[in-house]
Amino acid sequence: MEDYGFDEPRERRRTRSIKWSLGEEDGPWVDYPPAAGELPQQVELLPMWLADMDFPTAPAVVAALQDRVEHGIFGYTGLDDAFFEAVTNWARRRHGWSVDRDWVLTNSGVMPAINLLIQTFTAPGDGIIVQPPVFHPISQAVEYNGRRLLNNPLRYDGGRYEMDFAELGHLAAEPDARAMILCSPHNPVGRVWSPAELRTVADICADNDLLLISDEIHGDLTYPWADFVSTGSVGDRYHDRLVVCTGASKAFNLPGLKTALTIIPDDGLRADFRATLRNQNELFGANLFGTTALTAAYTDGTQWLDSLVGYLAGNVDFVADFLAARLPQLTLVRPEALYLLWIDCRALGRSGPDLDARLRAAGVWVEQGATYGAEGEGFVRMTIACSRVVLNEAMERVAKALGGPTS
């Protein structure tokens, strides 16, 4: 398999990277704890918090963008056959889903789309189901839009998360329930839902006339030990109440190009959402660079993506082995997808703020689990989309902060 340089550390400071610039704003971090009689040593922050990769995107994407830059004209841009063929072929080839080109709409991101879907298809006070611990902007989208959060917590058995379908059925039957936002694969716990699980969710939503919004932005980052299935592929009978939100931004590291896909099979739902895009955003044309990059990624990026997932799988194994040897009191919830690790730190007996303070003082920044709901208290989420060299340094700092023996 071709070497794409994933093992080479990349400099991202002073590039306006949100992931890396926070350390610049706050200054250097302090090593924790200092040796007896020594002053604390200043160390640079290693940001392992944001779902953002430190890898350059696929060469085919770079080449396509360079061609457009060399053309030099960046006027209003529409969508062409190559774009729709790339999207529909990718869905069929990678996910076994036959998508009609007419179903595909573009927008600036999955979360902007979810906010607009909430505004289009629900009213203030309506209930929307989410499954915590879940990516917190999803819960915020419900609350910030004045809707009622209906929490259907996942069940954790100490190693794996499952859905609580009985409780989901009760929530779906509530009189004001109008929609469910499914995180598939689930961020942050890394579950890839099986076809049977997806059909059960879709049946519950269909039986209770709920709109099912499936956030599938991490679907292309599924590891070899799991099989991602799009909710759209589990049965046409669900298509009249389904919206799939996806795109190339996570898998190909393109979030700065602000382009995502909203796939809506039902003509009526799609017309209503298209009206929202027009009325609220005065949508006209598409993002030139974002759609160029997505087309190239889906057309010529397969080999790069397969290599990336293989490298990330190695990073998962590296962290698992590190924890087993150096921090056995921590439990890795082995992910089936995502370049994000969900780590159970509750055996340490430390509060979330204490964990956070120790890790930041040691120069490594992860996300505290309580960010994703009360069910995440005592966990941390850590990004591993970086070179093995950087990952090793981050884990050494974690070990120092949390009391593991030094190598």
> Is the model's pLDDT at 23 over the cut of 50?
no
Distance, CA of 31 to CA of 168 (rounded, Å): 45
- At residue 283, the pLDDT reads 74
- At residue 100, the pLDDT reads 97
- At residue 86, the pLDDT reads 98
Give the domains, in start order, of the chain with CATH numbers: 18-57+303-402 (3.90.1150.10), 59-300 (3.40.640.10)
Average of pLDDT values for 101-120?
Answer: 97
pLDDT, tens digit (0-9, with 9 covering 90-100), for 204-213: 999 999 999 9
pTM: 0.93
pLDDT, tens digit (0-9, with 9 covering 90-100), for 367-386: 999 999 999 999 999 999 99
